[in-house]
Structures are given as C-alpha cells and as structure tokens.
C-alpha cells in the first residue's frame, strides 16, 4: 500500500479539489513521539532520499508503515533531530547552534534518511568546528551551512 494512502493530509479550502498527492497537502507525522506537520512536497523534495521514496506517488514501492493511535505515520527515529532533517528538506541548508553536541547523531539520521548532501554538510561542519570547539562554547553565534555552496 502506498504511503500517501496511509497518511493523514490536510487541505486548505482552495485546495479542496486536490488529490492526496498534491503538493499543497499537509502531512502529519509522529517521529519518535514528536508530532510534525509538513507539506508532501517537502517530504519528496529529495526524490532519492528515504522520505522521497516513501512518500512518492509510485505504486511499485511497498510501504507497510506503522501508525500511531491517532492515525499519524509513525517513524521510529529521533524526534528532536528530525526538525533539522525537515529544515534541510525545505531549504537544502541547515542552521545549527555553534555548540551542538548532537552533530554525530544528526549525521547518523541524515545517513538513515539517505540524504548524502546533508551528510556532506555535517562532515564539513565537523572539520570546520574541530579546531574551534573550545573557543565557541558559550557563544550565541550560529553557523549557516548550505548544500548549494558545495
């Protein structure tokens, strides 16, 4: 069964005649207990990613995904870190606090979701910040990392 048949979608009144796979649809996800609302187009913005494949309209992909008790698609991954995955899918960039101890875990999430450009950004980010970790602790500075600059 295709994922688009499994997921709860919301449409604005002007999109009410639109099919579920329409780019204006809002999809409700439960990722590790954290609820997210995002557009179908965001989830499919990187077609070869795991989310792109799962949410594609192609019928040849078999999707037997779990749902929570409210009918939301349940993804058993880190709900806190998924926000950065969604940010990347939206903008092809990610903004992290300069002292972000979860970079290794976020990189693992990017690998799981098959986002090689995000993995590359986080690998470069590790190399950039390696020499500056001590100096950056306690700073409010943010680093902007963009896949389009690669």
Residue 142, domain member (yes or no): no
CATH code of the domain covering residue 103: 3.30.710.10
CB 51, CB 34: distance < 8 Å: no
Residue 78, domain member (yes or no): yes
Residue 79, domain member (yes or no): yes
pTM beyond 0.75: the answer is no
pLDDT of res. 59: 41
Number of domains in the chain: 1
Residue 45, domain member (yes or no): yes
Chain centroid to CA 11: how far? 21
Residue 48 has pLDDT above 90, yes or no: yes
Residue 1, domain member (yes or no): no
Q: CA–CA separation, 127 vs 112, rounded Å?
A: 21
Q: Give the tens place of pLDDT for each residue, 85-139.
A: 999 999 999 999 888 999 999 999 999 999 999 999 999 856 655 444 444 444 4
Question: Whole domain around residue 50: which residue ranges?
Answer: 26-125
User: Mean per-residue pLDDT for 36-57?
Assistant: 93
Of the CA atoms within 13 Å of residue 83, those in its CB half-sphere come to 9
Residue 138, domain member (yes or no): no
Residue 5, domain member (yes or no): no
């Amino acid at each position: 069964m295709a994922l688009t048949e499994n997921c709860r979608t919301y449409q604005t009144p002007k999109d009410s005649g639109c099919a579920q796979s329409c780019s204006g649809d809002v999809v409700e996800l439960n990722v590790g207990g954290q609820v997210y609302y995002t557009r179908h187009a965001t989830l499919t913005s990187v077609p070869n990613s795991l989310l792109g494949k799962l949410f594609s309209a192609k019928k040849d992909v078999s999707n037997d995904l779990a749902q929570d008790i409210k009918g939301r698609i349940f993804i058993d991954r880190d709900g806190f870190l998924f926000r950065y995955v969604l940010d990347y899918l939206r903008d092809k960039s990610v903004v992290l606090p300069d002292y972000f101890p979860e970079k290794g875990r976020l990189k693992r999430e990017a690998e799981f979701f098959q986002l090689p450009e995000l993995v590359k950004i986080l690998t470069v980010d590790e190399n950039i910040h390696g020499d500056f970790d001590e100096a950056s602790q306690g700073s409010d500075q943010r680093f902007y990392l963009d896949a389009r600059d690669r």
